[in-house]
Chains A and B, each alone.
Chain A
Amino acid sequence: MAIVRWDPFRDLMNLQDRMNRLFDQTLSRTRSDEDEGLTASTWAPAVDIYETADSIVLMAELPGVSRENIDIQVRNNTLTLKGERKFEREVKDENYLRIERSYGAFQRVFSLPGVVQRDKIKAVFKDGVLELTLPKAEEAKPKQVKIDVK
């Protein structure tokens, strides 16, 4: 075994690292606001949502999930993202030394901050990141209101 100089702060960092992962795993299922109820899922992907003048954009991290295992639905103002990351390996004689990734079903439900045009939604899945662009309905776009001076 190689002799590596003992570094006490590396142990501390490892401990902090492991503690954070434990918290993140425990809290990810409950990382919710009032709109998400109890969902039938074992893990939850990290999601960013932001808004431009024309659309609402959602970015979800789904590395290792295949396209056909992702389901996106929009109803009224609610977006449901669900699917499954399957645990499959071709090689059978393996021995796992570490499993940190989450597998199984996931589901997240979001309340959208405005009305969107459902038939114009675009989804792009690249490098494990799912990017959904939801164009706002006309009435939801910010409009300039001119004030007449009389």
Chain B
Amino acid sequence: MWVPILRSHWGPFADVQGLQREMNRLYTALSGRSDRTATLPEVAWTPSTDIYETKDEIVAVLELPGVDQSEIDISLVENTLTVRGRRPRSETVEGESCHRGERHFGPFVRTFVLPSVVDADRIKAAYKDGLLEIQLPKREEAKPRPIPIEVA
């Protein structure tokens, strides 16, 4: 006898989310089976970042809503900028009274290799309204310089 299969709450994207979960499991399995003794940094979420360049500096803007400034760590090693920190979980969201929990909590790390030579001594960072803006001024010799054409 033919019995229809009742699938409730099937959204077309349920399959895509399943795919994302599977791929993450694969990555975890791959890294877990490594022989490396160094540990991969523990990362719970990755803040969205815009990076743009002007003639004088490179600016990185990270979305870090609800993060305490004291929990943010910025470091620049040669041309590599690393921003790490954490957002602590709130107990209210974890309990049974939570209807929806989409925000990410816990540690985050972003690493960027910057294209031109920046001056580490003059790096500045400001956190306002949930955005972390890092200004990295370029070193003088890295700035574009117009080359005059001599008339012979």
- Cβ-defined partner of B100 (8 Å) among A30, A48, A89: A48
Interface residues of B, CB < 8 Å — how many? Answer: 53
Closest B residue to A4 by beta carbon equals B80
B31-57 Cβ-contact flags toward A at 8 Å (1 or 0): 100101000100000101111111100
Q: Is B115's CB within 8 Å of the partner chain A?
A: yes
Q: Does A91 contact B (CB under 8 A)?
A: yes
Asked if A101 lies at the interface with its beta carbon under 8 angstroms from chain B, I say yes
A residues in contact with B34, CB < 8 Å: 9
Shortest Cβ gap from A37 to chain B (Å) = 12
- The reply on A104 being an interface residue by CB < 8 A is no
Q: Let me know if B40 and A9 touch, CB within 8 A.
A: yes
Residues of A within 8 A of B103 (CB): 46-48, 59, 61
Say yes or no: A129-B66 contact (C-beta < 8 A), given A47-B100, A63-B130, A101-B61: yes
Give the interface of B toward A (CB within 8 A).
9, 11-13, 16-17, 19-20, 23-24, 27, 30-31, 34, 36, 40, 46, 48-55, 58-59, 61, 63-67, 78-80, 92-93, 95, 97-104, 112-113, 115, 129-131
Which 9 A-B pairs give the minimum distances between C-beta atoms? Answer: A128-B130, A63-B130, A128-B65, A100-B48, A46-B102, A2-B78, A98-B51, A49-B100, A63-B65
Contacts A/B (CB < 8 Å), 16 sampled: A4-B80, A12-B30, A12-B31, A17-B46, A21-B46, A26-B16, A27-B17, A46-B102, A47-B100, A51-B99, A59-B103, A63-B129, A96-B52, A101-B63, A127-B65, A128-B65
